[in-house]
Structure 1
Amino acid sequence: MSVWIPDISKYSGPRYKAIAAAMADAIRHGDLPVGMRLPTHRHLADALGVTVGTVTRAYAEAERLGLVEGRVGKGTFVSPPRHATNRFAIHDVDDDVVDLSLNLPPRFDLAEPFRRSADALAQDPQAFAQLMAYHPEAGLSEQRQVLARWAHTHLLAEADAARMVLTAGGQHAIDMALRAVLRAGDVLLTEQLTYPGVLASATQQELVVRPVLMDEEGLCPEALESACRQYAPRALYCTPTLQNPTTATMSLARREAIIDVCRRHQVMIIEDQVNGPLADQAPLPLQALHPEGVILVGSVSKVLSGALRTGFVIAPERWVPLLGDAVRASCWMASPLTAAIACDWIQNGFADELLQGHRELMREAASQAHAHLEGYDLRTAPCAMHAWLTLPEPLRAEQFVAEAARQGVLIKSAGTFAVGQGAVPQGIRLALSGAPEPERLARGLEVLKGLLEHRSPLRRYAVF
């Protein structure tokens, strides 16, 4: 197969964008099949008469658009077609790669606790048979009571089991809340940088997502007021505690201001508290401050085990039937079997032990990140799974991510979390939980430190 050399003369704008656009057209027309290896940066630069930096930036732009993927030590290849909602998907990575791209819980040895809980469940054949049967979509009452106590203890939520619907994890909880409250074409407001999972659900449901400006605390009340006046939104999705990706936590005064705006404009709030249990201290959730105007989504999967797939939605009474309808239409019910394991861990105290271990690991990881990246604008929060790094000039986030990947470290740029077409900050999210082993994390941080300290290879990316 011949080497792909595009004709960029018919494309306007910066040359790196022209190369990326030509690549998109070639993929669409079948000239670049899935899996094809692209020319090296030097080869394509020489062929087109541009700098290597221009090609590097073009490849990074194509990777951001999901057209190609870089493989450490192997080159850049055309990716399989993927939807915009795929920007937070889990992929297999080589063992020598330090993956700081996804907020996944640390891997503790859970075999023995699981065995004890499973054995205990199997000791009562009648109760076990009940777990293996179909149940109403809201979930078993006794399991909702246990999880309601958990939510009250670790989130300070106004948790009533009668107003709780169980879900198959936090992502499912978000999706169910959106389906209950909004319809295709409705406007959903989010932070200008937000969890990609909500964007995935909003895209599939054909919602119109509009960003709201943020500051160091998260959502700006003045910007929210303006967005409500301009867009007449149906709902607001936000993360007031350990915001993803910035780690921001709203003060009590800020939370009250956000509620005031939404109350006046009759905007339902969908509050994401999936990471909330990790916070050492946080103000009351929005749901506790305004129970009739907030739907809270939570999960134990993120802090206990992803395989448990046990989440929940706490909602005003009038929304509970609609949430039940959404669950029944999507999967009939969350698994009572995995919920039983989660509830057993909560009741026997193991969940609290695991949560504390998780917090300690994340506290140590944050300390390690500050030690390696001292002097740079790194933002962490006690026990948060991630950190936020603002890049110094002249570095640009997409190129920084691409270069880190070439050196075996996976991270996410602000563009992964960006809503709309506005300016995106030059920031990076580091998922510290992705490499909880100190030696592995140190190796990844040293690569990033090297890129920050020796910026000359990246400097040319900013001057086109």
Structure 2
Amino acid sequence: MISLSSNYPVLADQQTVFKPITDRHCATYNEWFTIKPAAGNPEDRRVAAGWISRSGPAIGEDRIYMAISGHQAIIVALLAASLQGTAIAVDEFTYSNFLTIARLLNIQLIGCKTDEKGMLPSALAAASTQHNIRGIYIMPTINNPTGVVMPLERRLELIDIARKHGQIIIDDDAYGFLDDNPPANFAQLAPDLGWYIYSLSKPLAPDVKVAFIAAPEQYREQIIMMLKLTSSNPSTFFTSFVSAAISSGELEKLITRKRIEGKSRQLKTREVLSGYEVYGHENGFHCWLKLPGGVTAAVLYASLLKEGVEVMPGTIFAAPGVGAGEYIRIAMGAERDMNRVIQGLEIIKKQLG
């Protein structure tokens, strides 16, 4: 099966890059035998604060918390802000697993129209007058699945609306590392209402279980409680590994290479699918394909599986009430060999007729 569904960008020679980091890290085994603070070690939080503050205002380490994954960080944010059972605004096309998390927490999702700059302020304002929206969840820097990057001006517009209606904004930055010059995140732009989640599973590797949470100061006690309830404490094995990779400059070098590889894969994908409407970030490892008339995502998905190719139908990214039967998401990160990706793309093209 050619996997064009999962999207964890891994370079072909990444084991070689990792070996010196892991060899050094094993010498810290004496630190692995004691329970650490639920929010994470102060040194790891300091490094994390510096890392996520690179483009824009500095975030203090007292606003930083360590989680074991992006999913845990999202759940902690929702529970700490008491958003279970409430209404949350999302992009009309958004992260599929967030839709699942919301269902588990009895959260009503309100899909808001988007354009090439992301969520429309007019759509959020209208939704906020019609529903008691308590929060906003967005992926503003390389949206999954569309690849859109929200410019600074649009972010400031959404902050004004959120502040007017007493809402928080959860900024999920799963793919922002691939952007060469990302705008400031919402925790930087609005410290009173902005949350920011940065997972290391894609910048580093899928099995590196670390995510950073930046949050407004007033939620500190609730966040620590939810971290304790969902994981006891973060893994020093992984958090110190990440801190070492950041401090040595090795993470930055790896990300630079991933951006280059992403740009190459995005270009080759568009070459194969020339003539079709393909959306995606220039360095992105996924793209959003609009299907030609008469082709539905459900039928195409099923026929591609029979041909040995797995993609993601657009319907799994659609907010409630939003139709997405005319889209599929194609991910180019799971297959290390780009030739296999191209083989899968050729099969897609053939199926499209």
Match of 1:131 among 32, 46, 50: 32
Partner of 2:202: 302
Partner of 1:60: none
Question: For residues 204 and 158 of structure 1, do their structure 2 counterparts lie closer, same or farther at Cα, with a shift above 3 Å needed?
Answer: farther
> Match of 1:291, SS?
coil
1:151 aligns with 2:55: no
**Contact kept in structure 2, 1:157 and 1:287, CA below 8 Å:** no
Displacement of 1:324 in angstroms is 1.1
Distance 2:341 2:16 in 1: 27
Partner of 1:353: 253
Distance 2:323 2:155 in 1: 26
1:450 aligns with 2:347: no
Displacement of 1:343 in angstroms is 1.3
1:105 aligns with 2:9: yes
Distance 1:185 1:116 in 2: 47
1:334 aligns with 2:242: no
Distance 1:363 1:287 in 2: 28
1:206 aligns with 2:106: yes
Distance 1:387 1:289 in 2: 28
Match of 1:142 among 43, 46, 49: 43
Deviations 1:348-385 (A, max 9, x none): 22111211121111111001011101111001212112
The one-letter amino acid paired with 1:374 is S
> Match of 2:299, SS?
helix
1:120 aligns with 2:17: no
Displacement of 1:130 in angstroms is 2.9
Greater relative contact order structure (CA < 8 Å, 6+ sep): 2
Superposition pairs of residues 10-409 of structure 1, within 5 angstroms:
97-111=1-15, 114-123=18-27, 128-153=29-54, 156=56, 158-409=58-309
**Contact kept in structure 1, 2:279 and 2:289, CA below 8 Å:** yes
**Contact kept in structure 2, 1:177 and 1:323, CA below 8 Å:** yes
Distance 1:423 1:362 in 2: 29
Distance 2:203 2:237 in 1: 18
Displacement of 1:115 in angstroms is 4.6
The unaligned stretches of length 5 or more in structure 2 are: none
The unaligned stretches of length 5 or more in structure 1 are: 1-96, 455-464
Distance 1:113 1:449 in 2: 35
- TM-score, normalization by structure 1: 0.73
Distance 1:247 1:269 in 2: 19
Higher-Rg structure is 1
Distance 1:131 1:150 in 2: 24
Displacement of 1:425 in angstroms is 5.0
* Identity fraction in percent: 27
Superposition pairs of residues 423-462 of structure 1, within 5 angstroms:
423-424=323-324, 426-452=326-352, 454=353
Distance 1:346 1:173 in 2: 20
Distance 2:34 2:182 in 1: 39
Distance 1:273 1:157 in 2: 17
The one-letter amino acid paired with 2:305 is A
Distance 1:244 1:306 in 2: 17
How many pairs align?
353
Displacement of 1:118 in angstroms is 4.2
Distance 1:205 1:405 in 2: 32
The one-letter amino acid paired with 1:102 is S
Distance 1:121 1:192 in 2: 42
**Contact kept in structure 1, 2:315 and 2:323, CA below 8 Å:** no
Displacement of 1:200 in angstroms is 2.2
> Match of 2:133, SS?
coil
CA RMSD of aligned residues (A): 1.7
Deviations 1:137-177 (A, max 9, x none): 00001011111111123x54632211100001212111111
